[in-house]
Amino acid sequence: MQIAILGGTGDIGEGLAVRFAADTTHPITIGSRDEAKAVERASAYESRLAERGIDRDIAGAANAAAAADADVVILAIPPHHVGDTVEALADADVLSDQVLVSPAVGMQGDGDGLHYRPPSIGSVSELVAARAPEEVSVAGAFHNLAADRLADLDTDLDLDTLVVADDEAVRETVLELANELEGIRALSAGPLANAAEVESVTPLVINIARYNDDLHDVGVRFH
């Protein structure tokens, strides 16, 4: 399964890229608005893996080219820009039977901490679905995983991630993919209508890390 990580040059993109590269054999392409930046970051991730004896080719491409060839497109892009990015992909006519996966969460910070601020449609995952062509499947996943913890391959994850999608087969595909990451247990949280509940956990875990000195990169594990 070809995985494209758009905005894979950023924090969660790096974490997901190195984990998928280390733990699976799926071909991975890093996408960026700037092709040269994507190629440079992909090569940096390859070097990080090579230092650990992991020999992986990671491609870099402009976002549209990365998405065009992918089966699964992870939108590792800030929440306020993910809708426009999806529309640009649709305008470039590169979206057809891919599964789009959104890890994005709308949040606003103040002196107290981070607060959940979903778009008016309800959640970023639903916003992605609304702005994608009708035939393109959308799922939400990876919202509650801290980028630094993912990117640190010396850390055992031991975390859950919650997957939402309207189409059961699509949800199953993303659950299986996420479960391939060592230390991640992917759990279904139902259809996209439940995405807001999933996304809203992200500011909670970040606030817990902020107010508890001995906790960093907090995640969730459901028992």
Interface residues toward ligand NAP, by CB under 6 A: 7, 9-13, 32-34, 37, 76-79, 81, 85, 103-105, 142-143, 145-147
Which residue, 11 or 180, has its beta carbon nearer to ligand NAP?
11
* Torsion angles phi and psi, residue 54, rounded to 5: -100, 115
Query: In terms of CB distance, is 169 or 210 closer to ligand NAP?
Result: 210
- Taking CB atoms, the residue at the shortest distance from ligand NAP is 10
Cα 109 from chain centroid (whole Å): 21
Give the closest residue to 30 by CA, choosing from 84, 69, 83.
69
Q: CB of 61: closest distance to ligand NAP in angstroms? A: 11
CB of 53 vs ligand NAP, minimal distance in Å? 26
What is the rounded distance in angstroms from the CA atom of residue 48 to the CA atom of residue 147? Answer: 16
Q: How far is the CB of 207 from ligand NAP (least distance, A)?
A: 14
Judged by CB, which is closer to ligand NAP: 78, or 113? 78
Query: How many Cβ atoms from other residues are within 10 Å of residue 214's Cβ?
Result: 5
Q: Indicate if the alpha-carbon torsion angle 202, 206, 212, 218 is positive or negative.
A: positive
CB-CB contact of 146 with 152 (8 Å)? no
CB of residue 124 vs ligand NAP: minimum separation in angstroms? 7
Nearer to ligand NAP, 58 or 168 (CB): 58
